[in-house]
């Protein structure tokens, strides 16, 4: 999927259907403090927000919790996904003519995807399947919740809840 600024994303923007059972997922919260660039006028009111998640890297990583029998060849794993949220804030300026302005931000994110449901006595969210292959899965990013709080005429606080999940390719 293409992203702004010529970024090619390895994930698409899709939320799971209702009543779906997800086995591989994580949730992250992106809370950021954004400052309107100095060359831009003060903010009166946020009028629109454009969001574009650009997942740039996914890797399967080996996890060792120090409790594994060295004679066992099974390697437990999790998935590390990194990317950038390209966020565009459209706002009216705090000026008599209230012109519309646009500010862009790049907010990095990272998530660790494990197996769910997580059993604290056995898998602890680890993928303990020797046949697991990340190439057999599609990566999806779902924006579950978003809030934008204007702190003052130059600052915005973002609160975004993001679900990152894997779906077996058909």
- What ranges do the domains of the chain cover? 4-39+50-65+82-87+103-168
Give yes or no for a contact between 76 and 55, defined as CB atoms under 8 angstroms apart.
no
pLDDT per residue of the chain (170 residues) written in tens, 0 to 9:
334 455 667 787 888 888 788 889 999 999 999 999 999 999 999 999 999 999 999 999 988 777 666 666 667 889 999 999 999 999 999 888 879 999 999 999 999 998 887 776 666 788 878 888 999 999 999 999 999 999 999 999 999 999 999 999 98
On whether the CB atoms of residues 91 and 43 are closer than 8 A, the answer is: yes
Using alpha carbons, select from 28, 53, 50, 38 the residue that is nearest to residue 155. 38
Q: Which residues contact 97 (CB under 8 A, 6 or more apart)?
A: none
Within 10 angstroms of residue 69's Cβ, the number of other Cβ atoms is 7
Q: What is the pLDDT of residue 129?
A: 81
Residue 88: other Cβ atoms inside 10 A: 14
Q: Which of 169, 158, 151, 137 is nearest to 55 (CA)?
A: 137
According to the model, what pLDDT value does residue 44 have?
93
Residues with Cβ within 8 Å of 126's Cβ and at least 6 positions away in sequence, in order, are: 63, 65, 76, 77, 78, 114, 115
């Amino acid at each position: 999927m293409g992203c702004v600024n010529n970024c090619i994303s390895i994930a698409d923007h899709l939320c799971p259907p209702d009543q779906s059972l997800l086995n591989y997922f994580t949730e992250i919260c992106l809370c950021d403090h954004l400052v309107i660039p100095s060359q831009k006028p003060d903010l009166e009111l946020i009028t629109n927000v454009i969001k574009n998640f650009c997942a740039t890297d996914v890797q399967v990583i080996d996890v060792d919790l120090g409790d594994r029998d060295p004679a066992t060849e099974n390697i437990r794993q999790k998935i590390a996904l990194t990317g950038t949220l390209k966020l565009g804030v459209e706002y009216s300026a705090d000026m008599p003519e209230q012109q519309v302005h646009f500010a862009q931000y790049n907010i990095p994110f990272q998530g660790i995807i494990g197996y769910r449901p997580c059993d604290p006595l056995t898998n602890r969210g680890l993928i303990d399947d020797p046949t697991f292959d990340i190439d057999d899965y599609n990566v999806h990013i779902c924006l579950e919740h978003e809030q934008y709080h204007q702190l003052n005429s130059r600052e915005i606080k973002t609160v975004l809840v993001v679900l990152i999940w894997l779906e077996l390719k058909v």
